[in-house]
Structure 1
Amino acid sequence: MRIAFLTAPEGVEQIELTDPWRAAVAAGHEPVLVSTRPGAIQAFHHLDKAEKFPVQEVVGETSAESFGGLVLPGGVANPDYLRTNRKAVAFVRDFFDRGLPVAAICHAAWTLVEADVVRGRVLTSWPSLRTDIRNAGGTWVDEQVRICDHGPNRLVTSRRPDDLKAFCETFLDVFARTSKETV
């Protein structure tokens, strides 16, 4: 399965990109780095610059139709930028409209809030997003990982880098089950 990993040109928390990416590859999936412009994205270790990664596809030139699922890594700057980019927000919303599975960790829920897809859903995130999620009509819970089956697609959310092992195992299981159900 092709899995889109959507990031801003800079500000993604590197471990929240690389751990799920490696897990997807190990499970036999094809992760694809999607961003809002071509070139490379700049990852961070919290506030310090880390590695750069090549963008493979650009929002506005690709669509959810060519993927089996979406992963939204966190970091504070990453979703803060994405939620202000109308093409990125539309790209995220398209996965929900098509009933495709989505996984988001840490601050990535901000992008979900902006895409107006949390209403009626139960999700977790970095704790500071609790009020944003509630104001957008969602229910926030403090759990390591949460699966929400509200609507036609499944949403997997997680709180922080410490939860990455559970996040990766859960989203890969959910994406695999969803893929089998649609065959």
Structure 2
Amino acid sequence: MTGSITTAKVLIITQNWGIEETELTRPLRDLRKAGARVTLAAAEQAPVETLQHDRYEGERLDPDTTYDQVHAEDYDLLVVPGGTTNVDRLRVAEDPIALAQAFAKAGKPIAAICHGAWLLVNADLLGGKTLTSTRYIKRDVENAGGVQVNEPVHIDDAQGWRLITSRKPDDLDAFVGAIKDTLG
């Protein structure tokens, strides 16, 4: 890792709609406040519209770039926020799948919360991994070769790369704390 959060470069990827608000804003703001250089990359260079509980309008944020313009080698850690619609679209898009695979292949950590692990299912990265996520994708995780546990945060270092996962917005303190600890 970087050895210090103040030298860490973090990439957060989302679609432009359907992201669970706090699952994006908490890691984004908390990591920036701690000194990390955080890039928000969306599908399009247009406002990212979040939702609260997948249905109520949330905050709008401007992305820094698009995820087709970023490369895993330029970052230390990947964050995949949840939101059912967000990740349902991310998991079928070539660039997010390729980014997740590149992070894992390079031995770089990936942090996914709630539905975020759905991207890792489609990226074929969960074989031999133990993780936590929303209960709604438990069967998908298991069918992809992962072992699902019910914990606020779970860290797995199997297969040569670190996976940090959490279940839901209520787990954000533990999730962001695990990311900060990983970054140093």
Q: Which moved more, 1:161-170 or 1:84-93?
A: 84-93
Q: What residue is the counterpart of 2:25 in the other structure? A: 18
Q: Distance in 2 between matches of 1:59 and 1:33?
A: 8
Match of 2:112 among 81, 94, 104: 104
- Which of 142, 152, 169 is the aligned partner of 2:150? 142
Q: Runs of 4+ in structure 1 displaced over 6 angstroms?
A: none
Q: Are residues 1:121 and 2:142 paired?
A: no
Q: 2:165 aligns with which of 139, 154, 157?
A: 157
How far residue 161 of structure 1 moved from its aligned partner, in angstroms, is 0.5
Aligned residue type for 1:98: A
Task: State which of 44, 56, 64 in structure 1 corresponds to 2:51.
Answer: 44
Q: Secondary structure at the match of 1:96?
A: helix
Counterparts of 1:92 and 1:38, CA distance in 2: 20
How many residues in Structure 1 have an aligned counterpart in Structure 2? 176
| TM score, norm. by length of structure 2 | 0.92
In 1, Cα distance between the equivalents of 2:112 and 2:180? 12
* Alpha-carbon separation, structure 2, partners of 1:19 and 1:59: 20
Unaligned runs of 5+ in 2: 1-7
1:59 aligns with 2:86: no
**Structure 1-normalised TM-score?**
0.93
Letter in 1 for 2:13: L
CA-CA distance at 1:49 after TM superposition: 1.6
| Cα shift readout 1:88-116 (whole Å, capped 9, x = no counterpart) | 11111111111111100001110110111
Unmatched 5+ stretches in structure 1: 177-183
- Secondary structure of the 2:177 match is helix
